[in-house]
A = this chain, B = another copy of it.
């Protein structure tokens, strides 16, 4: 199949597919005489794997690592577990940060009401200190 069909089948844009090839996530494929890329079922599966990982906010670097591990079926998968644990921790850390940020923003928001001038604005005043 050609790239348009791969894009259609996987829900991944043509440009992103080319990008992933350039970034060495997807292998360079066979081409037609006219230089159009040709993809098979394995490519579909690989791209779906990548997309799944992206949907979990795994970085391209992390995905590369997972793909490398995947190519050693007999190896221990503790690296996978450790990567997942680290990623979960990142997400939890970010949630904590944002929760704190939300608290700060709410507090700031409470320092103003809707019938003031800019000069009297509690938000801007608090941002100035």
Contact = CB atoms under 8 A, between A and B. Distances in A.
Interface of A: 45, 48-49, 52-53, 56-57, 66, 69-70, 72-78, 80-81, 84-85, 87-88, 91-92, 94-95, 98-99, 101-102, 104-106, 108-109, 112-121, 123-124, 127-129
Contacts of A77: 112, 116-118, 120-121, 123-124
A112 B76 CA distance: 11
A81 B117 contact: no
Contact of A81 (B56, B73, B88, B112): B112
B45 A119 contact: no
Count the copies.
2
The DSSP consensus for interface residues of chain A is helix
Contact of A109 (B81, B116, B121): B81
Contacts of A69: 118, 124
A97 to B, nearest CB: 9
A103 B99 CA distance: 17
A9 to B, nearest CB: 15
A109 B92 CA distance: 14
A74 B108 contact: no
